[in-house]
Amino acid sequence: MTILDIIDKKRLKQELTFEEIKYVVDNFVNGNIPDYQMSALLMAMVINGMTEKETIDLTKVMIDSGDIIDLSSISGIKVDKHSTGGVGDKTTLILAPLVASCGVKVVKMSGRGLGHTGGTIDKLEAIKGFKVNLSVNEFIKQVNDIGVAITSQTGNLVPADKKIYALRDVTGTVSSIPLIATSIMSKKIASGADKIVIDVKVGNGALIKTIEEARILANLMIKIGKQYGKDVVCVLSDMNQPLGQTIGNGLEVVEAIHVLRVKGSIKLRELVITLGSIMVSLGKQIALEEAKKEIMTNLINGQAYQKFMEMVKAQNGDIDKINISFKSYSVKSKQEGYINGIDALGIGEIVRKLGGGRFHKEDEINYGVGILLEKSVGEYVKQGDKLLTVYYDEKRIDEQEILNCFMIEKERKEEKPLIYEIIE
């Protein structure tokens, strides 16, 4: 077989065999297949789709391309959580210690942000000294000791995905449900958790734009999980507006702390409680309502916050030194009415322009810049009311570009629900 034959077969909408998929992935990772030929195949997959069998086969080949983490030395059920990416999504910072405080082992290998969506590892690096590169042995020891650890992915964890995703990102082949499913599930399965909760973001600030697409993705990931004996639960949540009040790495750490101290965004807290309840239910094999009671109790009594502090200390972080820019300015409303929308994608791109996100994988992040939303969707504002505060270092953003992200109208519109549905 040759790569040309395989490209042509996919161009003609024919199903690829396991052997053909393995040939392509192995040879691309080894450098025998050049980027331009792999790009052609990826585009054929995006345009013509992939069968369920192809998707499951591709997931297996990608898992087998690198290390599979053995977490058997951690006692009990290990639970992981993943988000498909959004604007202001700092839920992992809150969830991991909250769930661990309830006695569930949380094993979290996270990535960095690319584009307008922030990565958990970038947020944690806003805490001075926080060690994000734990070895597998350090990771296992910390989970055994305190019940939770968050680390960046090891260098040889699914190397095929790293190389293929980097190519997809620059060739317009990211928006493919089968390719998204294989990318997420290959990493989650190789990471070694027993139970996986996935927050599938839906809306203009997310990769998945419609509920119908989100359902297809969720069901596909659940099927892949079953192939490997993994319980997967998907929560479909709204990303048509930023999540919480902050967008930007250091600011999001501060907001996460606020939520752990039962302050801050009610919607963010609602999502955390929903995801956390499912994680505790899976981890302790108890009813969802019982799990929710445990989550609420440990949020209110401060145990979740104490577990967060314990995790930061264990990973050498100095919580008194969170990187936030000293310079700031406010943007005020030029009209009166109800805020019927805040463009998540637009706000995310503004923070990226400030330096809080990457345009290229090698870009350095400015952890201190970002946006603090002073008003939320549904609120009534008058002319001159403060909409948000921009934290910046060198580059200021044109005020009108920021105002364009706000939909302010005379009549109040019904808000979209935060959580659309839960798929098991």
What is the pLDDT tens value at each position of the chain, 424 positions in all? Answer: 899 999 999 999 999 999 999 999 999 999 999 999 999 999 999 999 999 999 999 999 999 999 899 999 999 999 999 998 889 999 999 999 999 999 999 999 887 665 566 688 899 999 999 999 999 999 999 999 999 999 987 768 899 988 898 888 778 888 889 999 999 999 999 999 999 999 999 998 888 999 999 999 999 999 999 999 999 999 999 999 999 999 999 999 999 999 999 988 899 999 999 999 999 999 999 999 999 999 999 999 999 999 999 999 999 999 999 999 999 999 999 999 999 999 999 999 999 999 888 777 677 889 999 999 999 999 999 999 999 999 999 888 989 999 999 999 999 999 889 999 999 8
Which of 101, 152, 176, 183 is catalytic? The answer is: 183
Site of tokens 């000791």: 145
Q: Is 195 helix (H, G, I), strand (E, B) or coil?
A: strand
CATH class belonging to 78-314 = alpha beta
Residue 191 per-residue DSSP state? T
Say what the pTM is: 0.92
Q: What are the extents of the domains in the chain?
A: 3-49, 78-314, 327-409
What amino acid occupies position 6?
I
Catalytic residue from among 78, 105, 123, 168: 168
Query: CATH number of the domain at 3-49, please?
Result: 1.20.970.10
Question: Is position 396 annotated as part of the catalytic site?
Answer: no
Helix, strand and coil percent figures for the chain, each rounded to 5:
45, 20, 35
Decide if 168 is catalytic: yes
Catalytic, 116? Answer no
Assign 181 to helix, strand or coil: helix
Task: Write down the catalytic residue from 57, 122, 161, 343.
Answer: 161
Strand order in the sheet with 370-373: 246-247, 370-373, 386-392, 327-332
Separation of alpha carbons 358 and 104, rounded Å: 34
Q: Which amino acid does the sequence have at 141?
A: K
Catalytic residue among 187, 267, 307, 358: 187
CATH number for the domain whose boundaries are 327-409: 3.90.1170.30
Is residue 192 within 8 A of residue 67, CB to CB? The reply is: no
Name the one residue in this structure whose structure tokens are 């027993």. 194
Longest dimension (CA), the chain: 67
> Which of 10, 60, 78, 82 does the annotation list as catalytic?
82
Q: What is the Cα–Cα distance from 142 to 105, expressed in whole angstroms?
A: 10
DSSP run (H or E) holding 380: strand 380-381
- Cβ pair 104, 147 in contact under 8 A: yes
Residue of 10, 180, 149, 160 whose CA lies nearest to 85: 180
Rounded Cα distance between 292 and 357, Å, is 34
